[in-house]
Copies of this chain bind each other. A is one copy, B any other.
Amino acid sequence: MAYLGDPVLADDLLFRPQHSIIDQSLHAKLGGFATNGDGFGIGWYGSRPEPGVFKSTHPAWNDDNLREVAGHIRTPLLFAHVRASSGTPVQRSNCHPFRHGRWLWMHNGSLAMFPEVKRDLLTAVDESLYPKVEGSTDTETLFFLALTFGLVDDPPAAVARAVGLVEETGRRRGIEYPVHMTVATSDGQSIWVFRYSSEKSTSSLYYSSDVSQLRRLYPELDALDELGDDTRFIVSEPLRDLPGAWNEVPENSWAVVRRGEQEIHSFEPAGSARA
């Protein structure tokens, strides 16, 4: 889940039991909270350029400190992630979102047979970035590959090269479908999302329509009045109850949303030869 809009309390996004579009968009995710118990994390932008992160291996609904802190964090851009481990240890350094400088990164999906390709991939990480890798997950590896290939300057191109490298490396090892991902990353101003899998069968990814449009569709929903016009939500599960409110990011695409703007493009991994 990601939020971009007027500054709100993290509490309102994560825990408030009101019948708002916020609550509804989170409902599926909070259902997930109940069954994904391998850690969670939030990342948010505040008064500093570097985002804060709060991550824990306790289930989110058990973490009293998270509830406390959520009532004191006001932010225009929040990432929240619940982790279902695919085998790597359940420890704070493996929880999403990951951070480097101003950037946050989170991921659903996996790099297939990651233990087989981990060494090759980490060796491709830029030597100055390598010591910053803290955990042992595929997600963090993909993030550092994207950073290596220029995430800070051109996110779509950098992710294309990172994914291209993972596919080449995987196929050299006989892995048929090396990549399955929905990724969200941000510099504090914009959020880029990517939906791609080698198998062309990726988990879903949605972002909310602009709020003024929603207000026209649902004049009876008071909750929409409280949100700024530029509010965006990004979620992995569609919201059934509000047709027209959610736009699917198509298979093999990337999108960027920022205040008042959005773009969708097709996504294709870049071969390292072409890099």
Give residues in A with beta carbon < 8 Å to B.
34-35, 37-38, 44, 46-48, 52-59, 61-62, 64-65, 68-69, 71-74, 85, 89-93, 115-116, 118-119, 122-123, 125, 127, 130-131, 133-136
- CB-CB under 8 A from A62, the residues of chain B are 37-38, 57, 85, 90
Q: What is the CB-to-nearest-CB distance from A170 to chain B, in angstroms, rounded to a whole number?
A: 14
Judge whether B59 and A59 touch: CB under 8 Å: yes
Given contact pairs A35-B35, A47-B72, A119-B130, a sample of 4 additional A-B residue pairs in the complex whose CB atoms are under 8 Å apart = A46-B72, A64-B89, A119-B131, A123-B123
Judge whether A59 and B71 touch: CB under 8 Å: no
Q: What is the CB-to-nearest-CB distance from A244 to chain B, in angstroms, rounded to a whole number?
A: 33
* Given A123-B123, A131-B115, CB of A65 within 8 Å of CB of B54: yes
Q: How many copies does the complex hold?
A: 4
Judge whether A69 and B93 touch: CB under 8 Å: no
Instruction: For A58, give its contact among B58, B127, B131 (CB under 8 Å).
Output: B58
Contact sample, A vs B, 22 pairs, CB 8 Å cutoff: A34-B37, A35-B35, A47-B74, A48-B72, A52-B69, A52-B72, A56-B65, A57-B58, A57-B62, A59-B59, A62-B85, A64-B92, A65-B69, A65-B92, A72-B72, A89-B91, A91-B92, A91-B93, A116-B131, A118-B130, A118-B131, A136-B136
Please report the C-alpha to C-alpha distance between residue A105 and residue B115 in the assembled complex, in whole angstroms.
22
